[in-house]
Structures are given as structure tokens and as C-alpha cells.
Structure 1
Amino acid sequence: MTTFVRNSWYAAAWVDEVGDAMVARRILGEPLVLFRSADEGIVALLDQCPHRLLPLSMGVVAEGRIQCGYHGIEFNGAGRCVRVPGQDMIPPTAKVRTFPVVERFGLVWVWMGDEEAADPALLPVVERYGAPGWALLDGGYQHHASNYRNIIENLMDPAHTTFVHKGTIGNPAATDEPVKVGKLDGGLVAYRWVENSPPSPFDRLVMEVTGSVDRGQFFYYYLPGTSCVDIISIPAGTEREDEVMDAKGMRAFSYKFLTPEDERNTHFFWLHLRNYRLEDEEWAAGLRANLDKTFLEDAVIVKAIQDEQDRTGLHQRTALAIDRAPVMALAMLDKMVREEGAAVAAE
């Protein structure tokens, strides 16, 4: 049984990726091709010519139409065949499936399910995006050789950061701090505060702080594949209202958008918002490299887990208290998959 939710928006590419050429990307097991059409903007088509099934991405984009690389058959942004070289009659079956597309947050989002249910209001919300006083790093992409369920578990597990990310975001001071879990509308959050602790070298670089700090880690998960990590460092005892923490502390929102390629691979898109060093391009370049390194450290872990799951047929052999948030996240996902499957079966 598939683990995918189809009635959802999935990040398919960064808008800047889709230039004059095409982007071929497999999503939920379906081959898609994205290109800029003459009249539809960026569109997503099934990457398959209806004639001999050659991937359309092996062709070219000509005058805003996609031309099959086998016989030159051309399709417009609506998936309709507009030209067949050597004949005037266009067969009614010469058409390609299209997928709803929306551009937001610099990303191309594709709806993989029922077209009539493709509501842009269901797109993820990105806090502080475009707001004054916040700097953006975007364009992040990695390919992770693991089922997206393993990545969700990883992202909802604050306890692993100390051990996996020793040289990047690991914080030994948080090792024994318990993780609390709360349910949200359409997701959940795992969080903890490490209170009254010495400022880290990173804190000192960014904040004007002489005493201790309170550090907050909030790991949000929104169905079916959006993660946001809200990292806060404020002078100890500071009021914990959003406006106060934004003004007096160091804060960053790290978003990951998980798009299953298939049951064994995941497209991992990321963007990052911060309220510090807003105009420092050198700092931003170093931060981007550090984030990429951090996410690649996770990619190594989830691939090794996937390999062992494939070899043994098991998910895990024992459970720990730190599994609470990951277990809850996957239970919510499974419920969403079941409900969607039941609705389709009832039609």
C-alpha cells in the first residue's frame, strides 16, 4: 500500500530552475516535466508522450510548446497536441495529463491528486516570509535516498542533533532536557527550552549579551510533508512573546518541504529565514554552506536506516521515550492516507 497523500501541494522545483529548458522530476512515483509555456506560465505535464511513451523531457521547448524528441509532436501548456509533423489531422487521444501548479515562496508547487480539490489556500504557510527585518536564504535542494517517513521521524527528533550534528548545530547542554509534544491543527510540535545557560560562541557573534540565555527549539510538522524548526536564543528571563523575541533575541525559521520521489527516495527542498546579520553576504554564504552540511549529515543517517529497513523488512526493534513525537507524526500521516484512500474507494 502506498504511503502517499495525493491531495496535497508538493514542492516540485524552484521557480528559477524552470528557465528556457525543462525540469524533469518524479513525484509520488509519477514522472513530471515542468516548463514555461507560451500562455500558461510554468506548467507541469506527465513526462510521457502519448504516442510511444518517450519522456517528453528528452525533447525541447520550442516557442513555449514542448516538442517530443522522437517524432517532433508538439504539446501546449494545457497538454493538447497542436502539431503532428507530416499530417494535418490531430488524433483526439494525442493529449498529455496536466497537473495544477502554483508559484509561491519562490517554489513551483504541484497538486498530485483530484484537480477539483487543488485549493491554493492549502499551501504551507511560511512565517516571516517577505517581512521587514528578516533575511531569506532559499534555493536549497538535496536528494535523500530514503522514504520521506524516515525523514519526518528525523526532523521531529530533537534528541539526535547533539550526536549527529556535532560540528554544526549540536548542543550538548540540551542532551538531558526532556522534549514536550503538542498537537496542532494539521500537525504537531516537539519543543524544549534550555534555560539560563551560558551564551554559545554563535550567540556572542550575533547578540549583545553578557549574561545567560534561554534557548528554545521548536520542531513543527505539518501534514503531509512540511517541517519548520524555530530556533530562538534570548537573554535569560526575556518575555516569550513573538514580538519581544523577534526584537530582543536571535531567531531563525528553517523550513523543509519533503516531496516523495517514490517509496525509497525524497526531494528535500529548504529555505531559511533569520533576523540577524541581514546585510552580511559573506555570513549568508557561510550559513548556507553550514545548513547544507547539516542536512547532508541527516541524509547519510536516513539512507543507512532505509538500507537496513529494506534488508530486514523491519522498521525498528525497540522504542524509546524520545520516539513520542515521531510516532505521533507518522500516526497522523497514516490516518490522512487511510482517509484519502477510503474517500476514493467510496466514489
Structure 2
Amino acid sequence: MASKTKTSPLLLFFVLCFLFNLRLSAAQTVVKGSYWFYGTEFEVSNINSSLFTHLFCAFADLNSTTYRVTIPNSVSTQFSTFTTTVQRKNPSVKTLLSIGGGGASASVFAAMASQPSRRNSFIDSSIKLARSYNFHGLDLDWEYPSTATEIANFGKLLLEWKAAVANESRTSGKSQLHLSAAVFRAPNYYSLDLPVRNISNSLDWINVMSYDFYGPGWSPNYTAPPSGLYNATASQANGAAGIRNWIQAEFPARKIVFGMPFYGYAWRLVNANNNGLFSPANGAALSTSGDIGYNGIRSFISSNGARCVYNATVVSDYCYSGTTWIGYDDVKSVSTKVAYAKSQGLLGYFSWNVGSDYNWTLSQTAFSTWGA
């Protein structure tokens, strides 16, 4: 009589999880995404959702006392109707509720992640909000876990979030919510390594913020490509290096979504006749921070007869008129970056943000460059 081996329930659980994740990976073929931010006052109904597979609704808040995810009262209607609105033009587009953002207090996220009960409040409230507002997923934008303790807690938060989302799907019978996070350009925050394995095991993908490398607020003395794909000097921050580091850290390329900015930064040149990359500058131009949307850049070029230059070595555009110099991404930069992301086997691309595009020029360029 042949002996029978009893299968461990724990082993069976991990096998089922593996098969479930495999099915999700197979179904998730590409992300052509962008963020909509209520602060731009760009109407949700004006989004050309046919140019996207995924749209991120930004941003939900994190209460500093209860550690629950909340929606600002002033935009509650826009958030609650976001999915139904964008699906009118594209019924297949997926939506995710994004939590946090660069303007959010990183210390509140750190405090939330530091204790199991607080993490549970965050997780439970985020799932309930996503379901009640008909989102297909959740996106975390904590900028950034910046100590060893915060990074460890970030990893714990993601694992618990994933487990809760899986459990909610089983008990509700609904499709499992997607989980993503906007993350630093590389798998280490300067000298601190991020929890790559936990991130990979928890999230469906990461939105790598391959931009804001340079700006007049933190590099005021010279012009530079804010989001160059490649480096012009050995020490220059660039998008390709960050993606390469993520992959070398054994993060799956098929879970990486490459980020592009639909905005640029304006510097004030020291000498109007010295107007190339890395020219002497004296802080920001046009505004206190120097940031300017692509639509504003196009207006500046038209109104001032600005000279435009595409640098194929770095993969970055810039324009200048008088002492005003703007670094940004135009059509050639966007098409080259999207082609790069596809060639590296990445899951896709995203942009920040739809409200800053100009007549859908950059969104259409990205969409058509990637192809079917």
C-alpha cells in the first residue's frame, strides 16, 4: 500500500498565493498612467482617459491623530465620482486612490507606520475608502522614509497592507485591489537601502519618480536637466542609473513603472549669452520655486520667442529667452524615455500630471510610442 503525504496547510497557502500573484502578473500587461491632482484645478471631466490604462486620483490625506485616510471635504465629490467620470471616455481604464504626496508631512507617515495599531487604522480606512469610492486600487506616496527605522516600518506597512487587501478580496468576493507606491529614484535613499524584497512581495508595481534631480531650489548656481535619462557627468543623477540600480537590487523589471514630469524648472541665468546645460545661474526664475507646467512652458516659448534645444545625449529639453532658462521634457524626450522603458522590459510609464499637459501632446506621444 502506497504511503500518502499530507500537504501542510501553510505550504498550500503559499502555493495559492504564488498562483494568484502569477495570474495577476499575467493579467497586468502594461501601465500607461498619469496622476490627476485636485490642486491644479483641472476638471476630471476634461481628462482624455482614452490615452491611459491607469489614472491616479491625488491626494487623499492622512489624519495626524487617528491615522486614518481621509478625503478633503472640498473635493469629496470629485473623488467619489472620479472612476465613473473617467470611465465614460474609456470604460477599461483603472483608477487608484493616491495617498500622501510631496506636500504631505513625512513625519505623520512615519508616526503611523511606527505602531501596529496605527498601521491597521491606515490600512483599514484606505481599503474602505477605495471600495466606497469605486477605485480599483490604492497608491502610497510617502516622500520619503528617511531613517533606518522608518524604512523598516515602511516594509512592515506594505506587507500588512497586502495581506489585508488579499483578505478583503476573499471575504467580499470582489477583485483584489491593486497596490502601488510612488518611490525614490533608486532602491536606496542616499545611504539607506529600501526594503526591496518587501516592496516586491507586497506591491503590484512601483512608480519610480525619475525626476526632480535638479531644480533651482536645491541646485541654484547652475542650470541642469531636471529629469535627464542619462548622465552628462560621472556624478550626475539620471533616470537610467536609478532603474538599473532597482533591477540590480533584484527588483523585477516587470513591476517597475517609469516616471516622467509634465513640468520643468526655470533658472535665472547669470549671463544671457551663456545659456547651455550647466551654465551659471542665480536661483529661480518666473516663480519662487521655478517650477512650471508644460502648458506654461509652451506659452512662455510662444510669447517670448524662446530658443528650444533637445539634448540627445542626456535626453532632456531646454529653452531660453533673455536670462530665463527652463529645463523640461518635450516630445523627443518623452518618446525616447518611453521607448527606453519598453526596451528594458518595464511594466510601463506614468506622468505627473495630466493637468499640466498641453493639448494632450505629451500624453499622446507617450501612448503612441509604447504602442499596443
> Shorter-normalised TM-score: what interval?
under 0.3
Greater relative CO, 1 or 2 (CA 8 Å, sep 6+): 1
Higher strand share: 1
TM-score, normalised by the number of residues in structure 1: 0.25
Larger-gyration structure (1/2): 1
